[in-house]
Structure 1
Amino acid sequence: MGELIIDFSNWIWGWPLLVLLLGGGTGLFFYSGLIPFRGFIHAMKVVGGKYDDPNASGDITSFQALTSAIAATVGLGNISGVALAIGMGGPGAIFWMWVSAFVGMATKFFTCSLAIMYRGKDSSGHIQGGPMYVIEEGMGVKFRFLSIIFCSAGIMGLLAIFQANQLTDVVRIVLLKPIGLDYGAPTRWALGITMMLMVAVVILGGIKRIALVASRLVPFMVSLYFISVLIILFKNSTEILPSLSFIIEDAFTGQAAMGGAVGSVIIMGARRAAFSNEAGIGTAPMVHGASKNEEPIREGLIAMLGPFVDTIIVCTLTALTIMVTGVWQSGEKDGVLMTLSAFEIGIPGLGKYFLMAAVMVFALSTMFTYSYYGHKCFNYLFGADKADYYNYFYLITIVAGAVASLTVVMSFVDGMYAIMAFPTMISAIYLAPKVKAATKDYFERMKNME
C-alpha cells in the first residue's frame, strides 16, 4: 500500500501539474501587472489594519486571516520540507522554491480575491469562502464536479499526519532518548494520543478560537525561529554568500539531484514550495474567505504576503542554516533530523532545544488551522449539520500520523495536494479577467481617496 501511495505521488507530480502551477502562476503574475511588486507596500498598510471595517460580514479580521493562513504555511514545511528538498533534490531545489514563491504570490492574490468575490452559503445559511464556492458561484453549477474533486481531496490531504510524524520524531530524539524513555512504537502511540488531546482543546472551539490562538502563536514562533537561525548564520557568516551562490549554480546543473536531472530539481522545488506556502493548492482562500472584508482585491493583497513570509524569508533562512553548517552533505534524508543536526552544530548544547520548541509551536499551530480547512471541505460535501464529525476523524488521524512512515505520509499529502491544485488553478485562470477588472477599479478608488 505504501509503495502505491509513493508511486501515485511521483506520477501526479509530473510535468502537467508543474506546468499548471508554475506556468499558470507565471501567466497570472504578468497578467496582474506584476502585482507582487507594485502592490506590496499597499498590502503592508492593509494588513496593519488601516482599512479594517469591524461591521463587515465574515468571522475574523484580515490580520487574523493572514496569521491563520501563515500558521498553516509557516510550519514544518519550512523546517522539514526545506531539508527534504535539499536532501532529495540538492541545494538547487531551493532556487526553484524561490521562483515558485514569487509566482505563488500572484496565484494567492487571484485565488484569495476570488474567495471574497464569490462567497457562497453552506446548508445552514452561513457565509463561506474557498475554491469550491468560487467554482460554483463564479463558474456555474455545471463545473460543480471540480468543487467535489477539490473537497474530496481536501478532506484527506489536509490532515495533520505530517506534522504529527515530525513532531513525534523531534520529541523522541531531543527529550526522550537521552533519558532512556524512548520505547519505539509505544512511545509513538503515547505521543500521538497526547497531541490529539492538545489539538482537540483548540479545534473543537471553531474558527474564532483557532484564529485567536494562531494570531498569538505565529509572531512568537517566527521570532523564536528567526533568533535561533540568525545566531547560527552569524557564527558562520563567511559561508552565507558561497552557499547562496551554490544554490543558484546547482539549480541549473542538478549535480546533487536524482541522477543529475535539472528537471528533477525543478519538480522537487515546486513540490516542496507547494507544501510550504500552499499557493495554488486552495487552502488559504478558505480562511481568507472568512475574513471581515468586503473588498476582494484588498484581501488578495493581504493573502499574497503569505508566500513571501513563508518561502522567501523563512525557507531561505532554514536552507542557509543547513548549508552553512554542512549537514546537507551528511546523507541524512529525513527532513527534521537534518535540520536538527544543523541546530546542534550551530548552537551546541541549546540548539536542539530551540528547534524542538519551534517545531512544537509550528506543528501545533498548523494542526489547528488544517482542521478548519478539512472541516470546510466536509461541510461543503455533507452539510453543516454533519461537518463537526470531521473534527473527530481529523483528531484520530493525528495518532496515525505519529506512528506511520515519513515517506508514505509525505507522499500521501503530496498526492492529495496535487489533486486539489487542478480545480483551484483552473478556476483562478478561468476567472482571472474578473480579478483584473476589480483590481483596476480598486486602485483607481484608492487613488481618488488619497
Structure 2
Amino acid sequence: MFKTIEESIAYFSSWVWDWPLLVLLIGGGLFLLLYSKCVPFFYFKHAIQILIGKYDDPKNPGQLSHFQALSSALAATVGMGNISGVAVAIISGGPGAIFWMWISAFIGMATKFYTCSLAVMYRSEDDKGSVLGGPMYVIMNGLGTTWKPLAVLFALAGLVGTIPAFTANQLTQTLIDVLAWDDSDRLYIGLFLAGIASLVIFGGIKRIGNVAGKLVPAMVMLYFVTVIVVLLLQLEKIPDMFMLIFSDAFSGKAVAGGALGYLIKTGVKRAAFSNEAGIGTAPMMHGIAKTNEPIREGLVAMIGPAIDTLLVCTLTALAILSTGVWQHTDSNGITLTLDAFNSVLPYGLGDILVMIMVLVFAFSTLFSYSYYGIVCLGFLTKPKFGNYYNVVYIASIVVSAVVKIEFAINLIDSAFALMAIPTVISTLILAPKVNKRAKEYFTSLKV
C-alpha cells in the first residue's frame, strides 16, 4: 500500500510541476518584476538599514523584529535545500539547473517583495491580540470571502508542505554517513531529532525567533568560510565551472535526452524549495513583523532569495562541480555534498564540518517550519487550536527519518505546488495595492 502511495505522489509531483505551474511561478514573478519597474531593487541599501534595526519601534504591532522575521524565514530556507537540494538539482538536471535556480531567485526577489508586503497589509489578529499573517489572510482580507476556497486550499496544502520530510530525512542520512551508523538506526535518530526540536517549538514563535536570530547568521558565516576554503583549493577550476553552468543551461546535455525543458523545470523546482518565493511560507513569518509599514517588510523579505539561493546555493554548486564527484557517483542529496567536501579537505575534515553545518541548518529549519503549520491549522479551525499541529509535526520528524529521499522530495514538491497557486494568484490581483503603497512610501523617503 505504501508503495502505491509513493508512486501516486511521485506521479502527481511530476504532473503538477509541469509548464502551467512554472508559467504561474516564473511568469507571475516576471510580471511582478516588470510591474514594479525594478524600483524595490534600487532600495536594497535601505532594506539593509531596516534589517539592522534603524527603523525598529517596539510599540509597533507584531511579534518579531525585522531581523528576527528574516532570520526565522531564512532558517526555514537556508537549510537542507541549500546543501542537499543543490546536489539533487545537479544530479537530476545537470549543472545548467543552477542557472535556472539563479533566474528563479532573481525573479523571486520581486515576488517576495509583493507577497510579504501584502502579508503585513492584510494581516489579522487572534483573540489575544497577536497578529497573524500569510496568503490565507491576504486572500480573506484583501479579496473577500468569495475567494475563501483559495485560502482553504493554501492552508490544507500548507499542513503537508510544512512537514519537515526532506530536512529530517537528509539530517538522518548525514548522521548515518558521517558516524557510520547502521541504516536500521533511522528510527532512533528520528526520535532523537524530534526530542530536540520539541524543546524549541513548544516554546512558541518568540522562542523560535530568538533561536533563529542567533543561529542563522552563525550558520551562514560558517558555511561561507568552509566552502570558500574548498573553492580556494580548487581555484583554477572555478571559471570553468561557471562556463559549464552557463553552457549547460541552454543545451541540457547533462540531462537524459538533452531535455532543456526538464532542466528548466528542475532548476525552478529546486529554487522554489531553496527560497520559497511564491510558495507562501515566508509571508506567514514576515507578516508578524513588528512594523506598521508593509513596504519595509517587503524590502526586508526581498533580501532572502539573494542570501539563500544567489549566495549559499551558488557556493554549494561550485563546491560540488569543481570537485567533479557528481560525474562518477551514484550518490544523491547530502551524500553527494559530503563526497565533494571530503574529496578536497584532508583527514575526514569534510565529514566533521558538513555534519556541524547540517545539524545547525537542519535544526533551524525544523524549528521554524513548525510555525507555518500552526498558522495553517489555526486558520482552518481557530488560532487557539493551531498549536495542536506541533504534535503532528513532531511525529512527522520520526516518520521522515525513515522514508526514502525520493518520497520526501515528491511529497514536499506536491504540497508546495498547491500552495503556490493561491499565493501567486492573490498576489497578482492585489499587486496594484502594493504599488500604490510603495509609491507613497518611497516618496516619503525622498521628502
The TM-score, its normalising length taken from structure 2, stands at: 0.98
**Residue of structure 1 equivalent to 2:139:** 135
- Give the Å deviation of 1:125: 4.9
* Residue pairs, 1:388-399, within 5 angstroms: 388-399=387-398
Equivalent of 1:161 in 161, 165, 173: 165
**Does 41-50 or 405-414 show the bigger shift?**
41-50
2:62 touches 2:130 (CA, 8 Å); kept in 1?
no
The aligned amino acid for 1:195 is L
- Give the Å deviation of 1:327: 1.0
**Residue of structure 1 equivalent to 2:27:** 23
Provide the identity percentage.
52
- Give the Å deviation of 1:121: 2.5
The aligned amino acid for 1:393 is V
Equivalent of 2:75 in 71, 77, 85: 71
**Does 59-68 or 219-228 show the bigger shift?**
219-228
**Alpha carbons of structure 1 residues 56 and 387: separation in structure 2 relative to 1, 3 Å:** same
**Residue of structure 1 equivalent to 2:421:** 422
The aligned amino acid for 1:101 is A
Equivalent of 2:96 in 92, 106, 125: 92
* Residue pairs, 1:357-376, within 5 angstroms: 357-376=356-375
1:327 touches 1:338 (CA, 8 Å); kept in 2?
yes
- Give the Å deviation of 1:97: 0.2
Name the CA distance, whole Å, in 1 between partners of 2:56 and 2:42.
21
Write the deviation string for residues 24-62 of structure 1: whole angstroms up to 9, x where unpaired. 000101111113531211111111111111110000101
Write the deviation string for residues 412-446 of structure 1: whole angstroms up to 9, x where unpaired. 00000000000000011000000011111001001
* SS at structure 1 position matched to 2:385: coil
**Residue of structure 2 equivalent to 1:413:** 412
The aligned amino acid for 1:129 is G
1:124 touches 1:385 (CA, 8 Å); kept in 2?
no
- Give the Å deviation of 1:72: 0.6
**Residue of structure 2 equivalent to 1:277:** 275
The aligned amino acid for 1:241 is P
Name the CA distance, whole Å, in 2 between partners of 1:222 and 1:343.
17
**Residue of structure 2 equivalent to 1:434:** 433
* Residue pairs, 1:7-406, within 5 angstroms: 7-122=11-126, 125-175=129-179, 177=180, 182-185=181-184, 187-349=185-347, 350-406=349-405
1:84 touches 1:333 (CA, 8 Å); kept in 2?
no
The aligned amino acid for 1:79 is I
1:85 touches 1:272 (CA, 8 Å); kept in 2?
yes
**Does 106-115 or 347-356 show the bigger shift?**
347-356
Name the CA distance, whole Å, in 1 between partners of 2:331 and 2:36.
38
1:135 touches 1:427 (CA, 8 Å); kept in 2?
yes
The aligned amino acid for 2:39 is I
2:280 touches 2:419 (CA, 8 Å); kept in 1?
yes
Unaligned runs of 5+ in 1: none
* SS at structure 2 position matched to 1:49: coil
The aligned amino acid for 1:66 is L
The aligned amino acid for 1:156 is V
1:282 touches 1:424 (CA, 8 Å); kept in 2?
yes
Name the CA distance, whole Å, in 2 between partners of 1:166 and 1:336.
6
Name the CA distance, whole Å, in 2 between partners of 1:127 and 1:227.
37
* SS at structure 2 position matched to 1:33: coil
Name the CA distance, whole Å, in 2 between partners of 1:309 and 1:145.
34
2:108 touches 2:277 (CA, 8 Å); kept in 1?
yes
Name the CA distance, whole Å, in 2 between partners of 1:129 and 1:235.
45
**Alpha carbons of structure 1 residues 54 and 101: separation in structure 2 relative to 1, 3 Å:** same
2:63 touches 2:130 (CA, 8 Å); kept in 1?
no
* SS at structure 1 position matched to 2:182: coil
Write the deviation string for residues 254-310 of structure 1: whole angstroms up to 9, x where unpaired. 001132111111000000000000000000000001100110001000000000000
Name the CA distance, whole Å, in 2 between partners of 1:338 and 1:2.
23
Unaligned runs of 5+ in 2: none
Name the CA distance, whole Å, in 2 between partners of 1:300 and 1:262.
33
1:93 touches 1:268 (CA, 8 Å); kept in 2?
yes
Name the CA distance, whole Å, in 2 between partners of 1:126 and 1:52.
18
Name the CA distance, whole Å, in 2 between partners of 1:433 and 1:409.
37
The aligned amino acid for 2:245 is I
**Does 418-427 or 377-386 show the bigger shift?**
377-386
Name the CA distance, whole Å, in 2 between partners of 1:283 and 1:184.
32
Name the CA distance, whole Å, in 1 between partners of 2:314 and 2:241.
11
1:89 touches 1:257 (CA, 8 Å); kept in 2?
yes
2:63 touches 2:131 (CA, 8 Å); kept in 1?
no
- Give the Å deviation of 1:87: 0.3
1:94 touches 1:319 (CA, 8 Å); kept in 2?
yes
- Give the Å deviation of 1:157: 1.0
The aligned amino acid for 2:442 is F
2:115 touches 2:298 (CA, 8 Å); kept in 1?
yes
- How many pairs were matched up? 442
Write the deviation string for residues 348-382 of structure 1: whole angstroms up to 9, x where unpaired. 22111100100111100000000001110000001
| RMSD across aligned positions (CA) | 1.0
The TM-score, its normalising length taken from structure 1, stands at: 0.97
Name the CA distance, whole Å, in 1 between partners of 2:256 and 2:393.
34
Name the CA distance, whole Å, in 1 between partners of 2:387 and 2:442.
40
